Amino acid sequence: MPTPALTDTLQRVELADGVEIHLRIAGPAARSVAWLVDCAILLVCYTLLGIAVTYLSSWIGNEAGTGFFFLSLFLLNWFYNVAFELGPRAASPGQRLLGLKVASISGGPVSPQQSIIRNLLRTVDFLPFGYLCGLGSCLFTRRFQRLGDLVANTVVIYAGTEKPGAQLSLAHTAPAPPPVPLSREEQAALLQFFERAPQWSDQRKLELATILEPLTHARDAASLDQLARMNAWLLQLGSTEPAQTPEAASAATATP
Amino acid sequence: MNPTSFENQNQPRWQRLEDMVAATEKGRAPDDVEQIPTLFRQTCHDLAIAQNRLHRRALIERLNELAIRSYRSLERRSAGGWERIFQTLTVTFPKAFRSEWRLFWFCSLIFWGPFLAFALWTPHDPEWAMALLGPKQMIALEEMYGGHETTQEFLRKEHGSDFMMFCFYIYNNVGIDLRTFAGGLLGGVGSLFILLFNGLQIGASTGYIHHACSPTSFYCFTTGHSAPELLGMVISGMAGMRLGLAFLLPGPHDRKTALQLGGRRAILLLAGAAALTAFAAIIEGFWSARILAPWIKYTFGACMWTATIAYLTLAGRNSNHAP
């Protein structure tokens, strides 16, 4: 396996069964938007609370209404996120809207302690204003953790899988073996190239195919065609015996 | 086996696990729920094979997602929260508190030091306390604890609804506890600042009341809830310092691990501190404002101090549970 890139939103986690799962870590941008949505929701909550207290006060008296207001304020301020994170979706409404959820670092659900710690420490993450501390911490940790996440050992991940894009039809491609044996990483790069190809413009496909000139001895469309044949061959074979000469076609590793 | 036959062959099994996990996520238990661990292990195995054989990404992602979801389902904690809270308050917290006795004396010093200094010094030289309190607060103190006939009326009016004041104390005092804990992450500075500031403030108020108001009405109001409230404040300072010290002196661990371990111990202390402060809020809201003979108030206060200290030093001593 190659050394993992420094910034990779895919985090490998090894479960007790020895199997590796991949968590897709959410970055500060998505989390900020989720936070803004939550802010808007809280704002609506405060407004509704104010109205509710005004009505309630005429029922149960002014003092009791004010008391109710303080109690609700306390719970909303400190436990809004905790309540949602411990729910079945493990996400505040804002996070849910953006398809995020909070998880323990192993991908498991957050425990009540973890959730309380990470949300109480928002006070510090918010300093000096607008979650600047949290943002700084996010940018300097591998898993985009703010300070509260670091202490509670939690991460914010994307819930669910990426929507699969259009699939490339390879029915009419005649399979052809690559001229040199490809290593596992090279095979993976080639397969992923064609899995992702439908998302790119034609120019981009040709540009990337041309980088592989040392392997295909062709440029542009001809190179792409050759690569498609190798891809079809790999798919048809469905086996990836380790290559004997890993140094061959080293340029192939430069693919996406 | 080629990728297509691999998928076709195992598809029913994955689908079955997917349906079962979806059911448990909605809180329903499927009939053959005991099969989930087996299916989960098989799926993990399939995922490993698919990853190793470089199967198509959509398949790997689907299996990956399925593995995560089943893992979360299996790891989900079942109910029993109340029992755990009870256990924490009666055994785990007092034990954790006693094991942090060094921090207790340190935080006590930070809080009681300025408190006593101001409380004892102010009657002789009120200038400092007056500068600290400011005119607004001095007027408020004189109104509340002036010791005149109007005081009782004032109290009755102000605390006309015990419930309102109780809620306010929860909002304000427990909020301070939580902030004290969070401030600990700044290397303990935040916690120390809040402890010191409150010690100064309360000390200055006490001193000023001895100087200008009626100490009897002040002590009648405060003795009842003073024990859990002040000790709760000191303990929330301990929670913050536990976090701060984990950062400053990580010991044998790296800083991140030390913070995680420290956070776990600190949240236990904080839970106890918040419970004590909430308990104090009940007393302060529903008892402290009652107009009763001073000896009743003082006896109650003494009982509260004894009970709180006994709770912190004795509770959970006979339990064999690990802290």
Instruction: Give me the residue spans of the domains in chain B.
Output: 3-75, 83-314
Give the integer Cα–Cα distance in Å for B8 and B26.
Answer: 28
- How much is the average pLDDT of A161-181? 72
Residues B216/A157, Cβ–Cβ less than 8 Å:
no
Give the integer Cα–Cα distance in Å for A184 and B304.
Answer: 71
CA distances from A129 to A125, A151, A152 (A): 9, 20, 22
pLDDT the model gives residue A245: 39
pLDDT the model gives residue B266: 94
Beta bridge partners, A102, equal: A156
Tokens representing A75? 């719970």
H or E stretch including A157?
strand A154-158
Strands A20-24 and A10-14: antiparallel
pLDDT bucket at A256, cuts 50 / 70 / 90: very low
List the single residue in A with minimal CA-CA distance to B64.
A21
Does residue B195 sit at the A interface (CB-CB below 8 Å)?
A: no
Mean pLDDT, 10 residues at a time, chain B of 323 residues: 80 89 81 85 87 81 87 75 86 92 94 92 84 84 69 50 85 93 92 94 90 84 91 95 93 91 93 94 86 88 94 84 49
Distance from CA of B50 to the nearest CA of A (A): 11
Give the integer Cα–Cα distance in Å for B33 and B28.
Answer: 10
Give the integer Cα–Cα distance in Å for B189 and A19.
Answer: 43
Give which of A120, A105, A106, A111 is closest to A85, Cα–Cα: A111
The answer to whether the CB atoms of B185 and A113 lie below 8 A apart is: no
Residue by residue, what is the 3-state secondary structure of A224-247? HHHHHHHHHHHHHHCCCCCCCCCC
A237: Cα within 13 Å, side-chain hemisphere: 18
A111: exposed, middle or buried (C-beta count within 10 Å: 0-12, 13-18, 19+)?
middle
Residues B47/B67, Cβ–Cβ less than 8 Å:
yes
Q: Higher-confidence residue: A189 or B170?
A: B170
pLDDT the model gives residue A249: 38
User: pLDDT tens for residues A70-127?
Assistant: 999 999 999 999 999 988 888 999 999 999 999 998 888 888 889 999 999 999 998 8
Distance from CA of A61 to the nearest CA of B (A): 9
In the chain, the amino acid numbered B61 is E
Distance from CA of B253 to the nearest CA of A (A): 14
pLDDT the model gives residue B159: 47
Give the integer Cα–Cα distance in Å for B141 and B201.
Answer: 12
pLDDT the model gives residue B312: 93
CA distances from B50 to B4, B61, B97 (A): 11, 10, 50
pLDDT the model gives residue B57: 78
For residue B185, give the nearest of A74, A103, A121 by CB distance: A121
Residue by residue, what is the 3-state secondary structure of B58-96? HHHHHHHHHHHHHHHHHHCCCCCHHHHHHHHHHHHHHHH
- How much is the average pLDDT of A149-169? 79
The answer for residues whose C-beta is within 8 angstroms of residue B85's C-beta and 6 or more apart is none
pLDDT the model gives residue B213: 82
Give which of B258, B267, B261, B232 is closest to B104, Cα–Cα: B232
Supply the angle between the helices B57-75 and B36-52 in degrees, to the nearest 10.
150
The answer for residues whose C-beta is within 8 angstroms of residue A182's C-beta and 6 or more apart is A190, A243, A248, A249, A252
Distance from CA of B193 to the nearest CA of A (A): 14
The answer for residues whose C-beta is within 8 angstroms of residue B95's C-beta and 6 or more apart is B316, B319, B323
The answer for residues whose C-beta is within 8 angstroms of residue B305's C-beta and 6 or more apart is B226, B227
List the single residue in B with minimal CA-CA distance to A115.
B267
pLDDT the model gives residue B243: 93
Give which of A155, A75, A143 is closest to A115, Cα–Cα: A155
User: pLDDT tens for residues A221-249?
Assistant: 888 888 888 888 887 765 444 443 344 33
Q: Supply the mean pLDDT for chain A.
A: 81
Strands A100-104 and A20-24: unpaired
Give the rounded distance of the alpha carbon of B115 from its chain centre.
23
Residues B138/B208, Cβ–Cβ less than 8 Å:
yes
pLDDT bucket at A251, cuts 50 / 70 / 90: very low
Q: How many CB pairs lie under 8 A apart between chains A and B?
A: 142
**Distance in angstroms between the alpha carbons of the first and the last residue of chain B:** 53
The answer for residues whose C-beta is within 8 angstroms of residue B57's C-beta and 6 or more apart is A192, A195
B142: Cα within 13 Å, side-chain hemisphere: 10
For residue B171, give the nearest of A63, A70, A195 by CB distance: A70
| 217-246 in chain B: CB under 8 A from chain A | 243
Beta bridge partners, A12, equal: A22
Give the integer Cα–Cα distance in Å for B166 and B161.
Answer: 9
The answer for residues whose C-beta is within 8 angstroms of residue B295's C-beta and 6 or more apart is none
- Say what percent of chain B tops pLDDT 90: 40
The answer for residues whose C-beta is within 8 angstroms of residue A114's C-beta and 6 or more apart is A104, A152, A153, A154
